[in-house]
Amino acid sequence: MTEFIEEHIPYPRRVFCNRDLRMDSLSYIGFDMDYTLALYKRSMEFLQAELVLKGLVSDLGYDRSLLSIQYDPDFAIRGLSVDLEHGNVFKMNSHRFVGQVWHGSGLLDKSIRRDVYTNRKIAPSDPGIVMVDTQFSLPEISLYCQLVALLEQSNSKVDYKKLWEDLRTAMDRLHRDDTLKAIVRSDVPKYIYKDPELGETLHRFRSAGKKLFLLTNSEPIYTEAVMTHLLDGIHPGYPRWNDFFDFAIASGQKPRFFNQNEPLLTVDENGDLSDEPVTQLKRGVIYSGGNLDIIKSLTGMRGDEVLYVGDHIYGDIMRSKRDTMWRTAMVVQEMEGELEQIQAKGTEADALEALEDELFQVNLMRAAQKVEGNEDRALVQKTKALSKDIARLQKELSQSFNPIWGAMFRDRSELSAFGNQIQSYACLYTSRVTNFRRYSPLWYFRTPRQRMPHELRRVLDKAP
């Protein structure tokens, strides 16, 4: 039944399932805002880059030559890591082995890459490695590489760790002093898409008896501006955006929200915080701060009846998974383009799979002959030819996604580290919240049958 329904849903707009989830068992569905309900345009990345470079010059003393840098929005993908010691950016596979490595303005020389990373498995707790897994942070990766290149070209001795920390400091200041968000608030449509299906999607959940809530780290005034743009007047049954939600919490400070003791405060119409204790959550009111225990005590919600939808693999998905029994759905905005590319390259992908299967069978025959002390040179040549064709086709397919890094969820034949995180922690994942509108709000999402490698391959009893 799942296959019958889904074949009528465009592939890029499907919801994918890692763990079985019955929507009819859910009582609450919560949403993050930024990059979840609110999908940002490329103009946001350019704005971030412009303001960060200005901050490095005006606040942190960098040379004005930095202002000549032209931000490249197509360089970085989610899931890349920064080596703070060597100033490199690289992509890891699911086993945390390093693949492609970039330094400054180009790929790192293979011999240097081997010396630095061969036989080195990157531990998640390694303080010298920073993994960038949010779309909001992509400008930092691109700018970091450009800054490394510019500073090295000027014969400066580059402290790669300090450069990254300064870049992060400049970005953080944009949020703390409201510089970035004030600009966005002044022209929200320039930076944020307005999905016409969002109101109906939320309404369908509510019509099925689900209680909806908003939990975002953004401040109340910014939350009000963005949500007004997204939802005010979009559906006749909900005049104001907060009519869709049973409660709305801003300044949630995730991931600390899930294990801290921050008080929950009411935000009044002027944006000021009230010291009055919150004893009941009301629709139409924005709250600030709070923590999981308070929400549980005020709503009576149980963990396994809550689905939380977010975009941040750590702050939204991993921590809610570890600290609660909430089910999780990950929004990966840019995967819609990747799914379109997968469809466009279907013929090439099928050809690659056929070559890999043929190589597997040839290697089986070679192994059987070696046991008997034989070696067929024709099979040896066949193996080399197939391996060469596979490598060529793998490279072509990979570069059709991103010329440098390939597909976001894969690293050659392996899952990428980011893809592995999605598979490990997100019950569901999709490219936008409104994709749920294509499914019944009581739908039973089923995990594809998991198979081990020996179940995927047809093993010959004996070689011919």
Task: Quick: pLDDT tens for 30-67.
Answer: 999 999 999 999 999 999 999 999 999 999 999 999 99
Q: Terminal CA-to-CA distance of the chain, rounded, Å?
A: 41
In sequence order, what are the residues at sequence separation of 6 or more whose Cβ sits closer than 8 angstroms to the Cβ of residue 449?
A: none
> Three-class SS of residue 328?
strand
Q: For residue 283, what are its two tokens?
A: 């629709």
State the pLDDT at residue 159: 95
Instruction: Give residue 14's region: left, alpha or beta (phi > 0; psi -120 to 50).
Output: beta
| Domain edges within the chain | 22-39+192-330, 42-186, 335-426
Strand-pair partners of 274: 266
Q: Using CB atoms within 10 A of its CB, is residue 196 exposed (0-12), middle (13-18) or buried (19+)? A: exposed
State the pLDDT at residue 319: 64
Q: For residue 175, what are its two tokens?
A: 């949020």
How far is the C-alpha of 166 from the C-alpha of 196, rounded, in Å? 39
Tens of pLDDT, residues 359-394: 888 888 888 777 777 777 888 899 999 999 998 988
For 34, phi then psi, to 5°, come to: -65, 125
**Inter-residue contact 79 to 418 (CB < 8 Å):** yes
Cα-Cα-Cα-Cα dihedral of 164, 414, 19, 31, to 10°?
30
State the pLDDT at residue 346: 87
Sheet holding 428-430, edge to edge: 16-17, 428-430, 327-331, 306-310, 28-31, 211-215, 247-250, 286-289, 264-267, 273-274
For 173, phi then psi, to 5°, come to: -65, -30
How far is the C-alpha of 2 from the C-alpha of 318, rounded, in Å? 27
Task: Return the residue matching tokens 């307005």.
Answer: 194
In sequence order, what are the residues at sequence separation of 6 or more whose Cβ sits closer than 8 angstroms to the Cβ of residue 365?
A: 376, 379, 460, 463, 464
Note if the pTM is more than 0.75: yes
Q: How far is CA 84 from CA 129, 130, 299, in A?
A: 6, 8, 44
Tens of pLDDT, residues 318-344: 666 667 789 999 999 999 999 999 899
Strands (E), 93-210: 98-103, 106-107, 129-132
Q: Which CATH class is domain 22-39+192-330?
A: alpha beta
pLDDT, mean over the chain:
89
- Those residues of the chain that have pLDDT short of 50 are 1-3, 459-464
Q: For residue 188, what are its two tokens?
A: 């929200």
**Inter-residue contact 262 to 291 (CB < 8 Å):** yes
State the pLDDT at residue 125: 79
